[in-house]
Structure 1
């Protein structure tokens, strides 16, 4: 009876074949090898690699974008890849079908490059991990250079940290001597951890002497980054003071004098200083007064400069304040009188016997008194300041003069050949002389104190280019480009002007002002049909290209290597945008939104939009601000400019009167120029 009430229960069981995925990919890979159902091929170095579109699109965002709805590759059966290694591409295709990748010291760099191109992140991470584990004293500089070229921040930071932590062991590495100046400077001034002073000096001098004719122009800047006063007395006496290159350079000679003065005045204990320095007639009285002075460094300088030591002793007792004491020491109204005091040492041996009783300072004091040009020494304005734990005591009192900045606005639509200058500091716009030719959709750039206006359109594409001299206030014709460019990108690198792409144009050219010649560079691998913009970041040229497929492609060109690489595309933009760079970040300023790209991580991040919807505008980077000027909105000229601060991440409106600039070029320049209002 009870059993009759029991309902039938449906049994549900989930069964999973754990071998399904591996079996599926095994069969799919077999089909690839046998070329069954393959519907696409990758052409690399003249060899065809047969694949299935679906497999590539699943594994790689790069191929997923290429096979998108609006791409011509969707209907084509092959893709030619110019910037990849054949063996690496084959290995990655095999990985897509099998999930297995084999890395060696010989192939890992090519694998990283190609996986980065195809955006296969797992393989890229394995390559980075492999290179980290393989890092050693013989390859660390090469790996860091490779990471910099690939904009691989994780690997670059890791290899740079390794170099700094093992700096003492790398001094004799040949790769160190072959580094460019920018990287040597980065190593010398790095603070975490900072190389010790003596090793930083050795590296700098070895690097300079490796190619002295070309590199000695960087000597003063490198020495300025080294804390010479913190070097040991013996090191200064044997390595620094005797270095002819330093003595021949005026700025370096000043650094040397500062180091010597610091060593001369550095006494660890105030009581010891008094007992060693008071070798004068009234030793006991002077010692009593010296102990009342907090700034021990100034005492020695004061003692050596005053003939009447009893009068000096009286002066020292009147110093109530450290700042006042420092002011007295440096306030010499008459430099010639000061030079006379310094030179008025009747007997060098007597001076040495009095002053060189400080342990370990004898050689340095002798060198200090041995300075040939005493007027140069006396002219060095030295300010004595309190510094904790051995920071440099001597600072020159010169300050860099801030020069004004101007934005040149040249060419554009419906403005004939008119040009204007926007004075950033005064927030005014003034006209300048017209260009020699009417240009619309031209580009402009500054180089070596001159403004270059290149290309454009005035019914036909223009090859002509011209240069404006702000001193003479005149435009001059320069050599024409090999191809006409309009709506194109422009930037400078290593004293060359680069023009990139443009409407219906994928060619790249560089201009040398010294020879007045244009040279063709490697063209972009993606054919462009609309807008191109370019900017320089971390020794590479980055471009945004708005194509016929409504996709904005980002590409990277390394002028040192001459190759192009695809980066992450910008998801949302139109053909009305500008591109500027600051340090390692690109900023895409568009009429329908703005975004920034960290070139080290290759990731786009959205940023606030402009206050005004405009197109045909220009943008320049000045310090931490992006200035957007001109453009049109709702069929009217946009009168107001805007300024974006990258630190605050905010836009501010600029009231620039009569700013009618549309579809022209803009270039930033600094200098003391006088433009008529």
Structure 2
């Protein structure tokens, strides 16, 4: 057999003999022998698998839907936590274990057995779902992940719905999130497929008062979903009953979604938990609802008394405008994947709020002559992507970035009380692809690109009292796309691109503003550039990014007390160029780029649970945007949507889980 033997001695020589290759090296005086048999592992693995297939020395019988598969207890226990638990609790550990599976595919289990013995996963594409199901049952998480990634690589508009149904049945939130992102980007193509046309359908007609416009799609459908939730709970009817006929709703001037039955005076009004949603009940409510009615003349339920009606998933996935008066939406209602059609129609002669009669027909998007458009949040003076943002003294600072022409020096300041932008002193150096942090009441920017050289080592700090920028000591290495945050009165610069811009860095450096010195910290576990970086509760978090150009969903946390990095739960969606903000002790990660598309999706991390969950998506896709938190809103500004550089902004209301571009919804006055 071939191999390598090392005799380590005071002699240094090489010689070849027939058979194993011997190598003598000058090492320690007494010497020792190291033999590396390169063929041993492959040979042993092949022999063990052959023994399994012939039934020799096997001590496990897997009975799968009438098929019997033999294996070795020790091998399976190492690969399957599920089987390890069974074998570990076996009362007769020296006998032959019998494990029965009536709901798994025998061929899929055989594929997993081959993987357990050879570390090679080989399955026809038609078998991947079955292999995933078997791996889920056996708790083989790595195999589940590989199968999920394979399905994503094969996903297209024809199979997206079936893949989503499968991921839902498996309870795989990470896979679901990625499929939902795909559906958001390709809803019209997906809607043309046969399996989409067979989904349950909820048909709604919406009437509008004069001078009233519907909100953005995501905001509108969150109202519709809440209306359905309350309708099912108040009436006690199954979801199918709502789909038997067209439901008529009314969108009032005070942004409430009402049941159309109110138009004939047939209903009472009950307030909802959300100030912007009101459900109007056609039928007498349940007895327990009567007990909860307040004594006020409005008959509204007290906000704290309304029970949560949902036991399953309720989720808006994506929507598209089909015609001038028709919208299409894909949503999960009470755990059921459904299609919602919304159609605009003429308002009746009397509205529930006793407003003047309407003399004209309104569609979803009336022309400028027919109604006043919603006033949008004020845009920046410049479109910016790869900008630095931070909240300082109750205002949002947006600095630098690039558009199609150049890297920018200009800095703008947004006042949410007046919904207006103004310029402050420009930076000394044009720069983009950098991050900004607040340290001891001053802004700090480090590194980035000026559009001429790949990376910058210089940094600067802004004094808001003097309205001027000053240089700070340079970084030890030129860096672009690095993360920056303040922690324990120091400025940290993490990761970034190497001088060639081809791969991420593990470097982490800290700057002391008192001594004006840089010191090195423990390196990251994973190379990253374009990662989102922030501080929370005395820890620094580095989220996503890219190792080279492969986007990451992993995240890690730095503890300055012991100078160590620890991996935390991965995000649902791999992304680079995302923004991050802190609100109510949680991390909000916004937008970014997944390797093929700019993203609208948003997710939040709860450090107490070490869990990520998806939130309402933005109205626009944004990669390399700026994110900052002001009071009770998360603001996203600028970025690139895949086609254009943006100067727009939008605000997220955590209480309503919705994004808005409207000034009245997010102005803090």
TM range (shorter): 0.3 to 0.5
TM-score, normalised with respect to structure 2: 0.39
Asked which structure has the greater CA Rg, the reply is 1
Greater strand proportion: 2
TM-score, normalised with respect to structure 1: 0.39
